[in-house]
């Protein structure tokens, strides 16, 4: 596409951008907006602003606004998330995990405690090994397929009427996707009512 060469020409033609072919003060040879700003400089400034914003902890008002936005646009937010390429989601999650190490440490220890509490004292060393193998299998499948596999408790460790055990015959390797579908089916309101 041919751009006007000067700001004056651009104005005359009613164009939004022009291209002088000369480097800007920061050395970019790029399009300039009609106001005279180089588009590469604009991008740089945006990125700097964005980074600065991300460093700052979110205010309560901003968090509340985020929640309200989600409530109003739930379907769209979910549809967008579903349409996002898996690698992107994985990368994002990894980044979140790396920037919240304390949270993840806490989650792991909660899970360990849950497993320990649900492991009967009469379990044999062989059975413990069988459990370990299931976790290794899930890891292996994740590596092989690129899809995340997890170890699922067939009867959940904590459910309304029964308490599942952390024993080999209550464990199976499934994809995380299947696992999430399953947990969605559990009605958490029942827990809150203490049923």
**Sites of contact with Zn ion (CB under 5 A):** 24, 26, 28, 38, 40-41
Radius of gyration over alpha carbons of the chain, in Å? 27
In terms of Cα–Cα distance, which of 92, 111, 119 is closest to 150? 111
Which is closer to Zn ion, CB of 46 or CB of 70? Answer: 46
Complex with Zn ion: residue 28 or 128, whichever CB lies closer: 28
* Closest CB 27 distance from Zn ion, rounded Å: 7
Here the tokens at position 155 are 């009867």
Closer by beta carbon to Zn ion, 43 or else 91: 43
- Residue number, 45 or 140, with CB nearest to Zn ion: 45
- Closest distance of CB 6 from Zn ion, Å: 17
Q: Return the number of the residue (26 or 78) whose C-beta is nearest Zn ion.
A: 26
With a CB cutoff of 8 Å and minimum separation 6, the contacts of 4 are 10, 12, 13, 15, 18, 19
Counting Cα atoms < 13 Å in the Cβ hemisphere of 152 gives 16
Q: Which residue, among 173, 163, 170, 159, has the nearest Cα to 127 in the 3D structure?
A: 170
Q: Closest distance between Zn ion and the C-beta of residue 26, in Å? A: 4
Q: Based on the number of CB atoms within 10 Å of its own CB, is 114 exposed (0-12), middle (13-18) or buried (19 or more)?
A: middle
CB of 12 to Zn ion, least distance (A): 24
Q: Quote the tokens at residue 127.
A: 């059975």
Toward Zn ion, which CB reaches closer, 10 or 173? 10
Q: Which two tokens stand for residue 64?
A: 């509340």
Is 5 strand, coil or helix?
A: coil
Shortest distance in whole angstroms from residue 89 CB to Zn ion: 33
Q: How far is the CB of 37 from Zn ion (least distance, A)?
A: 8
């Amino acid at each position: 596409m041919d751009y006007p060469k000067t700001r004056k020409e651009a104005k005359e033609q009613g164009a939004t951008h022009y291209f002088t072919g000369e480097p800007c003060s920061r050395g970019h040879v790029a399009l300039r907006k009609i106001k005279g700003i180089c588009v590469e400089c604009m991008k740089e400034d945006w990125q700097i602003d964005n980074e600065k914003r991300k460093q700052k902890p979110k205010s309560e008002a901003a968090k509340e606004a985020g929640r309200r936005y989600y409530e109003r646009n739930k379907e769209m937010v979910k549809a967008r998330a579903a349409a996002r390429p898996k690698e992107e989601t994985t990368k994002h999650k990894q980044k979140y995990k790396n920037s919240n190490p304390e949270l993840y440490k806490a989650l792991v220890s909660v899970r360990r405690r849950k497993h320990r509490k649900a492991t009967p004292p009469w379990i044999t060393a062989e059975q413990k090994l069988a459990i370990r193998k299931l976790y290794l299998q899930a890891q292996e499948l994740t590596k092989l397929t690129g899809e995340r596999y997890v170890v699922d408790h067939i009867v959940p460790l904590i459910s309304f009427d029964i308490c599942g055990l952390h024993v080999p015959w209550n464990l199976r390797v499934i994809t995380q996707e299947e696992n999430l579908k399953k947990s969605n089916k559990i009605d958490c309101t029942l827990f809150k009512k203490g049923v």
